[in-house]
């Protein structure tokens, strides 16, 4: 990724998730062992991203996460895995930080220091592509697969997964907390 073709400095070819065709479906049922929605919240931000004082905060994502966590009765420390909206590399970093999976401005330093952040184990939108309406369903399925250890994923250590989906650049965010 770091050596991919320069598109427009500083963006490189693989910093942007491709638009893709796709469809998805999920069957939600109450069988024992199937994930349940523990909390969910959507938030909007009326201030355009380019008009903000802080470019390093996704406000709608942070608010949606805080409210969804409160509804689910969890904290970010309880999250075993997350799939975050990363249509651009930097948005994935900012989303993980907004969800409390790393300190503000500290995700990359945390990773360099050996901390384990379990976000986008699927490869995120960079590997699947942004399939618009189907993206959230893919994220839900991938989080459940990670929680139960269904291939291609190894089971994560924990029973709480989080999905973050975003419209625009932090114009809207939805966070869903799933639990086994």
Dump pLDDT digits (tens) for 44-93.
999 988 898 887 889 999 999 999 999 999 999 999 999 999 988 889 99
Are 178 and 71 within 8 A, CB to CB? no
pLDDT for residue 16: 74
**What's the average model confidence in pLDDT over 135-158?**
88
Question: Could you tell me the residue ranges of all domains in the chain?
Answer: 6-179
How much of the chain exceeds pLDDT 70, in percent?
89
**pLDDT digit string (tens) for 87-135?**
888 899 999 999 999 999 988 888 888 778 889 988 888 787 776 667 8
CA dihedral 26, 27, 30, 33 (to 10 degrees): -60
Architecture of the domain delimited by 6-179: 3-Layer(aba) Sandwich (3.40)
pLDDT of 152 strictly over 80: yes
> What residues contact residue 152 under an 8 Å CB cut-off, 6+ apart?
none
pLDDT for residue 117: 80
pLDDT for residue 164: 96
**What's the average model confidence in pLDDT over 158-178?**
94
Give me the long-range contacts of 101-107 (CB less than 8 A, separation at least 24).
101/76, 104/56, 104/57, 105/56
Are 174 and 58 within 8 A, CB to CB? no
pLDDT for residue 134: 77
pLDDT for residue 128: 78
pLDDT for residue 29: 61
**pLDDT digit string (tens) for 5-32?**
888 887 787 777 777 666 666 666 656 6
Instruction: Determine the Cα–Cα distance for residues 161 and 120; give it in Å rounded to an integer.
Output: 11
pLDDT for residue 53: 87
Are 162 and 79 within 8 A, CB to CB? yes
Dig out the tokens for 36 from the structure.
């349940």
pLDDT for residue 30: 57
Instruction: Determine the Cα–Cα distance for residues 18 and 4; give it in Å rounded to an integer.
Output: 14
CA 98, 105, 8, 6 dihedral sign is negative
Nearest one of 137, 179, 139 to 158, comparing CA atoms: 179
pLDDT of 166 strictly over 60: yes
């Amino acid at each position: 990724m770091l050596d991919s073709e320069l598109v427009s400095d500083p963006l490189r070819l693989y910093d942007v998730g491709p638009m893709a065709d796709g469809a998805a479906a999920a069957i939600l049922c109450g069988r024992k062992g199937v994930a349940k929605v523990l909390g969910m919240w959507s938030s909007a931000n009326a201030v355009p991203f380019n008009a903000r004082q802080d470019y390093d905060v996704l406000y709608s994502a942070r608010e949606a996460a805080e409210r969804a966590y409160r509804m689910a009765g969890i904290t970010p420390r309880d999250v075993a895995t997350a799939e975050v909206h990363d249509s651009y590399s930097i948005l994935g970093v900012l989303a993980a930080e907004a969800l409390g999976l790393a300190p503000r401005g500290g995700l990359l330093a945390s990773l360099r220091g050996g901390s384990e952040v379990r976000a986008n184990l699927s490869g995120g939108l960079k590997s699947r592509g942004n399939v618009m309406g189907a993206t959230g369903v893919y994220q839900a399925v991938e989080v459940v697969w990670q929680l139960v250890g269904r291939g291609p994923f190894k089971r994560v250590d924990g029973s709480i997964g989080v999905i973050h989906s975003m419209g625009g650049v932090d114009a809207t965010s939805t966070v869903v907390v799933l639990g086994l």
